[in-house]
A and B are shown apart, each in its own frame.
Chain A
């Protein structure tokens, strides 16, 4: 997990970004071809249960693996992969927003860990 800023910092940064965007002339996203396009990013957030948390669904799937005839599956734990596309002024901002999203919504840090893969599209 990366370094996290406080919520207040992140909100302030978001609000500032929003105000700047509103002040810019024209409609930058649709019909003002002079303006710079906003960079788009693709991300995949992987959410998995912490190692100490029992994963009964994973255990059930592991039992099914041997019924399928696949032996030797020592460990099988089920998580989630969340695909996200977002606009951000730069990679730092994209990463900051995704970290907030992952830590506060997509995963519950009490029982889950998450990792983030980020690419510019």
Chain B
């Protein structure tokens, strides 16, 4: 069981993710350079946080055309698990694997703090071990994390039970307090908080472990 961590020019949480999955959780992990197309042998792929391609134009707008993401589309279509964290979430929405878009924070500040989250849906493997209604805290660090979508899309998310996580105290103005969503089947999760920064009791707690363990559960 091996996890791939995509490395775009400008990614800066790729090593954090590998430290968490390999160092803290003992899961075999390898990097995927953005020009790579071969995803064979991988059980899950993580799109890490950072500023892919400098976030030029819009967050994730250029990354969407990376060769590795062409392969990721077929990987996801065949049910492979995909986790997008922060900038990775932005890339997933630009790519169309998840609906909506991430926009500038309501108060324009880059927010870097721990935030309390509540589990909305525990039907997917990502949060099945925590249970809906459960609350935990994860770090956030973003300037453009305000989840935005049309009313129709929001209704679709609710109908699909695809809202995974909500902020207990909305820090950025996201529609419906959304912090993370899945696709309808539940194989793809995108979230703004950083679970990889909460995998060791000495550096931010261990609340993020469950989400990363779900990569290969």
Contacts and interface: CB of A to CB of B under 8 A. Distances in A.
Interface in B13-27: none
B94 A56 contact: no
A91 B155 CA distance: 41
Contacts of A60: 108
A77 B185 CA distance: 37
Interface residues of B, number: 20
B154 to A, nearest CB: 12
Interface string A78-117: 0000000000000000000000000001101011000000
A38 interface: no
Which DSSP category, helix, strand, loop or mixed, fits chain A's interface?
loop
A57 B104 CA distance: 8
B157 interface: no
A54 interface: yes
Interface in A34-87: 52-54, 56-57, 60
A111 B104 contact: no
A105 B94 CA distance: 10
Contact of B106 (A52, A56, A110, A111): A56
Contacts of B108: 56-57, 60
Given A53-B148, A54-B173, A60-B108, A111 B103 contact: yes
Interface of A: 52-54, 56-57, 60, 105-106, 108, 110-111
Interface of B: 57-58, 61, 65, 93-94, 99-101, 103-108, 146, 148-150, 173
